[in-house]
Structure 1
């Protein structure tokens, strides 16, 4: 991702990574189509400017969008915002209600009716990520097979399909510079498709740190500690707020939380495998392998406590 400008105006250019792994990932045309469709539909996205699918121009397909100013919050609040519980609560509310608004958009109404295959979405998610696990695992982990078995056994019936972001979390949105209670733009649409929107909520809850968890657990699982600070919604409040805003049935939500753990564990294993092969260089990758069994164990513990048929074991 690059910021470009002409001295007066600025834009953002996105292209695939120089060494991406999944051939189906980083489809610039799909990303551009999504933000083009949602631009003007009441969903905060950057303004779509142009798409170039000719790799001869810069070496890869790319698209250009308007630059949105604001704050991406990861580990700390911006200095200019009040560091108060009220600020954190406003951020929580904005993040959750914006997700519910996205899920309320009818794909056909914005020209995205053919953007994915909602039927069988959850089953395909389990199978797709399992194929990634088999391609990248560095050690045997029977508990991962047990988690996959429970996901298959407890597969819920999906409600009405929606636009699924695929990686919705606090640091994938830009918050307005002068208002922490307003999402100025949702970013990183590379995994967007049509399917069961509760997959987004389940993954958001995996990322959402709980004050009851130890600092060690949060660090090991790579969870930002910021949502454990006073004022942020507790995980139960996240669920209540989304339920109130969306009106969706959340009775099987723990299945989607288990799916989120499953997905993140497999992504972490893939990163660790590339690190061991020397294909990924940098700090922090050496502990990725230790995260995988912890994520899987966390998922199984929650699944067992859920009492959902199939998922509970």
Structure 2
């Protein structure tokens, strides 16, 4: 004979089951966010927040989140002709032994990305235009345009840096005979290259790939490390936003002249202070974990008229012919003069 469970007890058991399911969903969501932070699709942050990746000051907006400067090298032809497919090569060098801090605080290899701002009218070459060999070479780079209205702005990344320190962009040059808005002239190409995660999030908050500083002057009262998003938070941290609460998140409390204060340090950056240390406002509490950086360059690109090249070749040929004729005439005169002297 089955024993009947009281109604209130059954309700409590059901509530406990629902709460556990909700907790499991939250944990899964946190893990998904942590995994998403591994990629940190930085070129697309600019795409989703700015109409153009280049500000009026000339700065490429990627530098707003990637604060460290590192070199980026670019190879661009000096001149191209209409309908020509040419390569723009972006080199993003860094120490391959470096590892970056990812969203959950663990270490991983660096990713790279790039943005190439071509002159209007220039665009990414199609598979048919670049040929099967070139297509096979760049097909894994997943190059995309900044928007449907801006096909001349190209994005790539994030890609594993170990295999993509050199990124190739096959470009098709426009034809002024087809598009009257295009002129034969010198243009500018703007390029930005990045390796590693940014120090700021798009909303301006610090990422865990940054150095954290003391917001106050005082004494470190305590440092609590969270084991999971559901860890109990002491009263002194009540009201403190613990963010995603990844395991390893540190809650630091301070004793100050104005009373107790608290701050949250996400997992990743190594602490430089311990309980009982006196700190000043603005003092580094962690090391700077960043090993990446962003760099931008600009290059000149001339869209050259084939007719100008033909006329230049004709002119140089005429000059050469004139020089040869003068030399021959001079020799002829010298021979006549020599004959007159001997005669």
Query: Does TM, normalized by the shorter one, top 0.5?
Result: no
Structure exhibiting the larger radius of gyration computed from Cα positions: 2
Between Structure 1 and Structure 2, the one with more helix by share is: 1
| TM-score calculated relative to the size of structure 1 | 0.24
Hey, which of these two has a bigger chunk of strand by percent? Answer: 2
